[in-house]
Amino acid sequence: MNLHIGTWPLALSLFVATLATVCALLVGIPLAWLLARRRFRGRALLEVLVLLPMVLPPTVIGYYLLVMVGRRSTVGHLYETLFGAPLVFTPGAAVLATFVAAAPFLVRAAQGGFEQVDASYEDAARTLGRSEWSIFLTVTTPLAWRGILAGTALCFARAMGEFGATLMLAGNIPGRTQTASLAVYDAVQAGNFTRASTLALLLSLMTGLALAALTRAGRAPVDPLREPPR
Amino acid sequence: MSMVAVAAALATSTACSSRDRTASGSATSVEPVTVFAAADLRFALADVARLYRAQGGDSLVLVFGSTGDLTTQIINGAPADLFFAANAPAIDSLASRSMIVDSTRRVYALGRLALIARCPTTRLVSQTADARCPAPARLEDVAASTVRSIAIADPAHAPYGLAARQALERAGLWKAVEPRIVLGANVSQAYQFVSTGNADVGLVALSLVARDTVLGHTLVDAALHDPLRQTVAVMAASAHQDAAVKFLAFLETPAAKEAMHGFGFDEDAR
């Protein structure tokens, strides 16, 4: 019983962070490619908008989301009509808040990855008659994988630690929307420092391991012929 | 992809744990009753909920926060079945939106403010009653020059914070202490500031410190603040109104009343 009360927030955090990261990959990679490879009107504005959640206080993100998808908003009203229950204060709301807060980290790093891909490879593929879509999928993205992986790691780590926006949009309901970071906050308020320490340590360990695994996978292979830099 | 596998595994584990919850609950309701409660009830209501379950009652999910924060969340669609506010105006504002079941509304306790001080030394082990860290004897002592920080809940949305501010104002101390006030997001955070030794003194709910084995307390004259008529109501949008009413009925039993009494809530509150 104690075990499941103790581990539930961590399971929810993992679940929310994983879903948010998957969403960030689906939306973020095309966006990063667009920003790295295309010049269009409003590109600078889009770049700022995409990166803004990285520097805005999470409470501001939470507030904007409440205004945009809360029950009194058009989107929130539509959602409630469609699904019969409001989006706010559900695990889905936690995923949305976490996605908005964490996705910019993926976009930023993936954009850097795309920018480092030599455009002549893409040109070569074009001379072979490949479609732009096929070039994106089979040439550019595989070459930019290191940046994408680094971005995924950062995005996931940020998602595991999301607190402010989640608190505002999803609330702090044990067994429903209380993620590990919220559970730590709650345990400290309750003066339950044993629980706070356990959760904090496990959260640090899990996020640290995820970071280590992903950065290890993304490290450049060692070239035995090359002298290490001094 | 491995991500998808992880997500699937997690979804399964999440589903399993929510099934565990239900299994450990009662037969009457499939989902646990979600109780939103003012932060001053953090220890008292947890205790009463334990008693309730021990007698075969439903399992309750307790969500604590400042009354103001919780009210805002409920207005915005938070899934509360039952709301224990620390005052009456919060329930009034929900009533004006037709969000409560009017017949279930009642004052369940009268809140009292208590003065506490941090322990001069680090004492972590539970102490005997006579060895508690002493609280200042009088409210005026919080204005002493040795007191550098005074923890209260945020008066903007926490009823106990408002009561603390009123008490300090009516005692003519507010001007002197205002620069030294530190605000907790709710009253249990203000208590935590003092119990962890980070704030010198605090004006908090009696219910948080009544059974504290480490910190002593001094009651603040109730005439110094507007009465904290702690009011409860079942939410109109709740899908578990029957279960919520059952828990409210349990609060009237001698066992529950005795437990609440132990946390400093007077029996003749209303």
Confidence band, pLDDT 50/70/90 cuts, at residue A8: confident
Confidence band, pLDDT 50/70/90 cuts, at residue B148: very high
| Position B23 pLDDT exceeds 70 | no
| Position A100 pLDDT exceeds 90 | yes
- What DSSP state is assigned to residue A141? H
* Mean pLDDT on B247-256: 95
Which residue's entry shows tokens 């920003």?
A35
- Per-residue model confidence (pLDDT) at position B30: 61
Q: For residue A21, give the chain B residue with the closest CA.
A: B3
- Per-residue model confidence (pLDDT) at position A223: 62
In this structure, what token pair is assigned to residue A9?
Answer: 């927030």
Confidence band, pLDDT 50/70/90 cuts, at residue A47: very high
Confidence band, pLDDT 50/70/90 cuts, at residue B242: very high
**Max CA distance (Å), chain B:** 66
* Mean pLDDT on B185-196: 92
Are A21 and B3 in contact (CB < 8 Å)?
yes
Per the model's pLDDT, the better-predicted residue between B9 and A46 turns out to be: A46
Q: What is the CA radius of gyration of chain A?
A: 20
Neighboring chain A residues of B122 at a CB cutoff of 8 Å: none
In this structure, what token pair is assigned to residue A120?
Answer: 């002549």
A74 CB burial (10 A radius; 0-12, 13-18, 19+): exposed
The residues near B188 (Cβ < 8 Å, ≥ 6 apart) are A189, A190, A191, B39, B40, B42, B64, B204, B205, B208
Task: Determine the distance in angstroms separating the CA of A178 from the nearest CA of chain B, rounded to an integer.
Answer: 10
Are A174 and B65 in contact (CB < 8 Å)?
no
Q: Among partner residues B13, B76, B188, which is closest to A189 by beta-carbon distance?
A: B188
- 3-class SS at A84? coil
Q: Among partner residues B11, B61, B64, which is closest to A175 by beta-carbon distance?
A: B61
Are A171 and B73 in contact (CB < 8 Å)?
yes
Neighboring chain A residues of B42 at a CB cutoff of 8 Å: 189-190
- Per-residue model confidence (pLDDT) at position B94: 97
Q: For residue B197, give the chain A residue with the closest CA.
A: A191
Are A189 and B189 in contact (CB < 8 Å)?
yes
Task: Give the whole-number percent of chain A exceeding pLDDT 70.
Answer: 92
Torsional class of A71: left (φ above 0), alpha (ψ -120 to 50), beta (otherwise): alpha
| Position B180 pLDDT exceeds 80 | yes
| Position B16 pLDDT exceeds 90 | no
The ipTM value here is 0.71
Confidence band, pLDDT 50/70/90 cuts, at residue A230: low
* Mean pLDDT on B14-20: 38
- Per-residue model confidence (pLDDT) at position B26: 41
Task: Determine the distance in angstroms separating the CA of A7 from the nearest CA of chain B, rounded to an integer.
Answer: 9
| Position B171 pLDDT exceeds 80 | yes
CB B132 within 8 A of CB B216: yes
Q: Among partner residues A11, A173, A190, which is closest to B14 by beta-carbon distance?
A: A11
Are B63 and A172 in contact (CB < 8 Å)?
yes
Distance CA B224, CA B245 (A): 34
The string of DSSP codes covering chain B is -HHHHHHHHHHHHHHHHHHHHHHHS-SS-SSPEEEEEEGGGTTHHHHHHHHHHHTTPPPEEEEEE-HHHHHHHHHTT---SEEE-SSSHHHHHHHTTT-B-GGG-EEEEEE-EEEEE--SS---S---GGGSBPPPSSGGGGGSTT---EEEE-TTT-HHHHHHHHHHHHTT-HHHHGGGEEEESSHHHHHHHHHTTSSSEEEEEHHHHTT-SSB--EEPPGGGS--EEEEEEEBTT-S-HHHHHHHHHHTTSHHHHHHHHHTT--TT--
Confidence band, pLDDT 50/70/90 cuts, at residue B77: confident
Task: Determine the distance in angstroms separating the CA of A19 from the nearest CA of chain B, rounded to an integer.
Answer: 7
Mean pLDDT of chain B: 86
Confidence band, pLDDT 50/70/90 cuts, at residue A191: confident
Residue of A122, A134, A101 lying closest to A28 (CA atoms): A101
Q: How many CB pairs under 8 A join A and B?
A: 82
Are B79 and A71 in contact (CB < 8 Å)?
no
- Ramachandran angles phi, psi of A109, nearest 5°: -70, -40
Are A175 and B21 in contact (CB < 8 Å)?
yes
* Mean pLDDT on A83-106: 94
Are B17 and A8 in contact (CB < 8 Å)?
yes
Which residue's entry shows tokens 């948010």?
A20
* Mean pLDDT on B55-82: 93
Model pLDDT for residues B192-214, shown as the tens digit of each residue: 999 988 899 999 999 999 999 88
Q: Which amino acid is at B121?
A: T
- Per-residue model confidence (pLDDT) at position A229: 60
What is the reported pTM? 0.80
Half-sphere exposure at residue B182, Cβ-oriented, CA atoms within 13 angstroms: 16
Strongest mean pLDDT among A1-15, A208-222, B1-15, B133-147:
B133-147
Per the model's pLDDT, the better-predicted residue between B131 and B227 turns out to be: B227
Residue of A149, A162, A21 lying closest to A101 (CA atoms): A162
Neighboring chain B residues of A88 at a CB cutoff of 8 Å: 76-78
- Per-residue model confidence (pLDDT) at position A228: 59
Neighboring chain A residues of B186 at a CB cutoff of 8 Å: 189
* Mean pLDDT on B52-80: 93
Per the model's pLDDT, the better-predicted residue between B23 and B117 turns out to be: B117
| Position A192 pLDDT exceeds 50 | yes
* Mean pLDDT on A34-56: 94
Are B64 and A186 in contact (CB < 8 Å)?
yes
Confidence band, pLDDT 50/70/90 cuts, at residue A217: confident
Task: For chain A, report the end-to-end CA distance as a whole number of angstroms.
Answer: 55
Distance CA A157, CA A167 (A): 18
Neighboring chain B residues of A21 at a CB cutoff of 8 Å: 3
**Max CA distance (Å), chain A:** 67
Which residue's entry shows tokens 């999910």?
B61
Model pLDDT for residues A163-183, shown as the tens digit of each residue: 999 998 998 888 889 999 999
Are A176 and B195 in contact (CB < 8 Å)?
no
- Per-residue model confidence (pLDDT) at position A84: 86
Are A89 and B79 in contact (CB < 8 Å)?
yes
